[in-house]
Copies of this chain bind each other. A is one copy, B any other.
Amino acid sequence: MSDIEIAQAARLKPVHALGDALGIPEEALDPRGRHIGKVAQPWLDTLADRPDGKLVLVTAISPTPAGEGKTTTTVGLGDALNRIGKRAIVCLREPSLGPVFGMKGGAAGGGYAQVVPMEQINLHFTGDFAAIALAHNLLAAMIDNHIHHGNALGFDLRRISWKRVMDMNDRALRDNVIGLGGPGNGMPRESGFDIVVASEIMAILCTATSLSDLKERTARIVVGETAERKPITCATLKAQGAMAALLKDAISPNLVQTLENNPAFVHGGPFANIAHGCNTAIATRAALKLGDYVVTEAGFGADLGAEKFIDIKCRRTGLRPSAAVLVATARALKYHGGMAVADVSKEDVAALERGLPNLERHLRNVQEVYGLPCVVAINHRSHDTPAEIELLVRRVEALGGQAVVAKHWADGGAGAEALAREVVAACEKPNSFRFVYDDALPLWQKVEAIATKVYGASGITASAAVKERIERLQAEGYGHFPVCIAKTQMSFSTNAALRGAPSGHTLDIREVRLAAGAEFVVMVCGDIMTMPGLPKVPAAELIDIDGQGRISGLS
């Protein structure tokens, strides 16, 4: 059966039953259809004194075209923890429509490890992304409107950094010239669109602790500069009130369920390159108050997503993971060992062995740099051979780790019970969680710390202009912000073709972007696409709906 067929065959609990089981009072659970609810953020604030459950971070080896299965592992582990008698809640990011209509189909897990209702989660869901897009674009409209009516704030038209956003893979919108057509249509200038997940509003929402926090940080967004290079903020345009009003409901976490009727929060979804790539802190915090175990994923591999989870999300919001799960597949490691993606279903122990350093470095990073007990989840695929699995388990054990084969994709939670037991054990192990760098370290040295400690780089470089920009941000008082490194997720280096565990490379910072509202400084190291395009045959061509409203072609 396809993912959507499995999802459509599922028996779902009504959302109020999910809420009851978690002790959420009826007045704090706003239904959005029969199987989706928003848990009122103001009610969540009343839980502050409750003890927190244990937070388990699911991360992965460096992503490959062969696929690793981080989301399915997160869901399967959540179900498995429930099966072995733990009250566990899963926390995931919301899917973006860009990939849904582009390459990937849906993004709500797969096989027998999915969150449901799958169609709604993939299409619109509770409207959070639409709200973020409108809030973002309202600010953009107010900027151009301000300029049209005389530009009293003195915007330098060449230095407006606030673009518009759309939840769509639409490359033709990347770079454009707006305001054409004469004096009635505003002032012509260069601008562009990003996809919604790249919006700074998304990043703010995902690290916000309350609606007031969200509004205050929105007010501090720097949207452009004057000719004298003085920053102009959202607050000077008086946009933050209306923007926060648009985000009133978006800030409340969305409660859904897994195929096995266990609770899941699916809330927020920032890019993992120019932003930190995790679901909202409000959802994670809510789950910790309502469950004993919370399983959440970070974007990309453990070098990028887990580092940002720790240095950006945990640092700002006080969250502390008890353990990490590092997801790997034999296929992906054979790809890291040099096999072509078309061949990775074939047994090749030598290729696996050549690829293992990727897993080993990530494991060492999680254990030694982040200081977290770590379980390696071998996400099982039907072509895996005993020899491959045996090698994998042995090598992980040699590093003091534990590797467990998990079959949640085929078998649901039952397939991940062994993993769940190891994770429970890991949560009891000594934990020396730590950030990669201190707040007080200068921005430059923060990047250096990540590059050398996590990426295996020998150092960092930047052009004089970039260095000058970093120094200026340091001088302007942004030096205490964490850094958010935007680079390829395919390699520890900035060269996507360097698989495995390259060492001694240098990390070149090409560009610096201040996210004054999101409270980090983006260090762009490579070509980063913030508005994807559609492939020659987009997934959208295959999606359909019949007269009874039954959707097909999502996967």
Q: Is B137 within 8 A of A170, CB to CB?
A: yes
Q: Is B134 within 8 A of A536, CB to CB?
A: no
Which of A86-94, A174-182, A320-328, A446-454 is near enough to bind chain B? A174-182
A39 to chain B, nearest CB (A): 13
Which of A56-64, A242-250, A293-301, A365-373 is near enough to bind chain B? A242-250
Residue A149 is within 8 A (CB to CB) of chain B in the complex? yes
A176-B176, A545-B211 given; A123·B246 CB < 8 A: yes
Residue A547 is within 8 A (CB to CB) of chain B in the complex? yes
- Among A3-46, those with CB < 8 Å from B are 30-34, 41-42
Mask: chain A, 131-164; 1 = CB below 8 Å from B; 0 = not = 1011001101110110011000000000000001
Number of this chain's copies in the complex: 2
Residue A386 is within 8 A (CB to CB) of chain B in the complex? no
Which residues of chain B are within 8 angstroms of A544 by Cβ–Cβ distance?
241-242, 244-245
Q: Is A101 within 8 A of B138, CB to CB?
A: yes
A210-B547, A248-B545 given; A171·B185 CB < 8 A: yes
Which residues of chain B are within 8 angstroms of A239 by Cβ–Cβ distance?
540-541
Give the A interface residue count (CB, 8 A): 81
Which residues of chain B are within 8 angstroms of A178 by Cβ–Cβ distance?
172-173, 176
A123-B245, A124-B127 given; A169·B141 CB < 8 A: yes
Q: Is B168 within 8 A of A137, CB to CB?
A: yes
Residue A401 is within 8 A (CB to CB) of chain B in the complex? no
Q: Is A538 within 8 A of B241, CB to CB?
A: no
A169 to chain B, nearest CB (A): 7
Q: Is A177 within 8 A of B174, CB to CB?
A: no
A123 to chain B, nearest CB (A): 6
Which 10 residue pairs across A and B have the least CB separation, nearest first? A175-B181, A241-B544, A130-B130, A144-B172, A172-B186, A141-B170, A242-B540, A242-B543, A145-B534, A212-B547
Q: Which residues of A contact B (CB under 8 A)?
A: 30-34, 41-42, 97, 101, 119-120, 123-124, 127, 130-131, 133-134, 137-138, 140-142, 144-145, 148-149, 164, 166-181, 184-187, 190, 192, 210-212, 215, 237-239, 241-242, 244-246, 248-249, 533-534, 536, 538, 540-549, 551, 553-554
Known pairs A164-B166, A164-B173 / 7 extra A-B pairs, C-beta < 8 Å: A31-B33, A124-B130, A124-B134, A175-B181, A241-B541, A242-B541, A245-B544
